[in-house]
Structure 1
């Protein structure tokens, strides 16, 4: 621990709310996946959403990012209601996300994947016969993003040849092309060994500089390492929310999810 770590920071002004869910309900043919979820994500924080399998975490992520419409309730991004908008419109308002399943173009190079993502808000994607070389004007920005996510040296490799962890890095890079103010990461360390997890932890810290990050994550060591605050779901409901050290001692959380790990 450094001296800086040991000294409490001077209290500053309260953080504004970046992303908010109000009484969010999603029903699927009689099954309630989220049940009046209230959630407040503060601007500039790393916020983890955890819970056992079937708790409603993925459904909540899909509601927050516009891939599902709520049965009732609201989602607000910096005070603007977004739950009635299409996903691409939400992206343009400053929210981007990655997915648990890899979503890169495998037959394109790492750099080409980023170039295509950078070109998506421009008129170029609508010009169907335009060669990929037309996107080269965006090359410097693509190179900057690849360097930031640690893939600068891999720019010419096919995405199909990347390791699982490198694909995660590329997906985060693709998410950054839209310059999000809020970034949602779905299981960013899923399926990784310790070395890959360490790289992703460092990467999340890097991309969180100047933006809000929300992640769904099963690995509690990762959550403890990264999260400023966490929210715990069970059966589609919020059962606890707050700082990790406080939430991990909540009897409801211990019973629902953490078990003996909470005492480690």
Structure 2
């Protein structure tokens, strides 16, 4: 399958050190090419957005980067180590964690219990049978710190089912942080939110991005323009452009192919 588009543009920062790289990634589904020779490099410490219209291949690319899908061809590199041959849990242990567009919390557990359960993964508790529930409290201070980080300290004893949509997003990000990731992937973190929730998530992403790399799929262009250091635009499963927001928004191919005559705002 060929792609009629010309070679994509790239604007990488001089001296940048890549944290996460996709190298000629291809993913086919029974004759349909969801990602077509995707190559991109996401630098350490940056907030990088992946944008594009529905069907552009954003979710497929996220699933390839995090190990939930295996590429038909190509490679994924995390801090120079190839990870596309690994299972998702192995990738998490190497420093990459992600959230999902669909809520993935335990609704009948409290907010704090959700975080405590997630904290068991990098500890030795999952390998111990008949561990008293009280042992979980060894992880209590860490859980409380995460809840403070994501702004849910006062909601610790609420059932996750009772949280608002925005609060569930905060909890999901907190769960992702339990793995102490160096690279955090966020799938549509502001989806379905009003302006107040969006503003809260913007502040939260800025906070959790300190000392780590954040990659997000996002449709809200106001969020993208306010948060990101660089963006990558996908179209028909291929990279159309990659660079700083103010540069990419003026690219004629992006305006024509993705945004119409109005362009990015």
How far residue 254 of structure 1 moved from its aligned partner, in angstroms, is 1.2
Extract unaligned runs of 5+ from structure 2. 1-12
How far residue 15 of structure 1 moved from its aligned partner, in angstroms, is 2.2
Give the distance between the partners of 1:163 and 1:255, measured in 2 at CA: 38
**Could you say which residue in structure 2 is the equivalent of 1:54?**
55
Q: Is the 2:112–2:157 contact (alpha carbons within 8 Å) kept by the matching residues of 1?
A: yes
**Could you say which residue in structure 1 is the equivalent of 2:139?**
138
Q: Is the 1:52–1:256 contact (alpha carbons within 8 Å) kept by the matching residues of 2?
A: no
Q: Is the 1:254–1:260 contact (alpha carbons within 8 Å) kept by the matching residues of 2?
A: yes
Extract unaligned runs of 5+ from structure 1. 1-11
**Could you say which residue in structure 1 is the equivalent of 2:3?**
none
**Could you say which residue in structure 2 is the equivalent of 1:249?**
250
Give the distance between the partners of 1:127 and 1:263, measured in 2 at CA: 52
- What's the CA shift string for 1:209-247, capped at 9, x where partnerless? 000000000000000000100000000000000000010
**Could you say which residue in structure 1 is the equivalent of 2:89?**
88
Q: Is the 2:107–2:161 contact (alpha carbons within 8 Å) kept by the matching residues of 1?
A: yes
- What's the CA shift string for 1:176-205, capped at 9, x where partnerless? 010000000000000000000000000000
Q: Is the 1:102–1:168 contact (alpha carbons within 8 Å) kept by the matching residues of 2?
A: yes
**Could you say which residue in structure 1 is the equivalent of 2:183?**
182
Aligned with 2:234: secondary structure?
strand
**Could you say which residue in structure 2 is the equivalent of 1:232?**
233
**Could you say which residue in structure 1 is the equivalent of 2:70?**
69
Aligned with 1:221: secondary structure?
helix
Q: Is the 1:64–1:75 contact (alpha carbons within 8 Å) kept by the matching residues of 2?
A: yes
Residues 261, 172 of structure 1: alpha-carbon distance in 2 compared, 3 angstrom cutoff: farther
How far residue 125 of structure 1 moved from its aligned partner, in angstroms, is 2.4
**Could you say which residue in structure 2 is the equivalent of 1:218?**
219
Q: Does 1:198 align with 2:199?
A: yes
Pairwise mapping of residues 150-161 of structure 1 onto structure 2 (< 5 A)? 150-161=151-162
Give the distance between the partners of 1:261 and 1:181, measured in 2 at CA: 36
Count of aligned pairs between the two proteins:
253
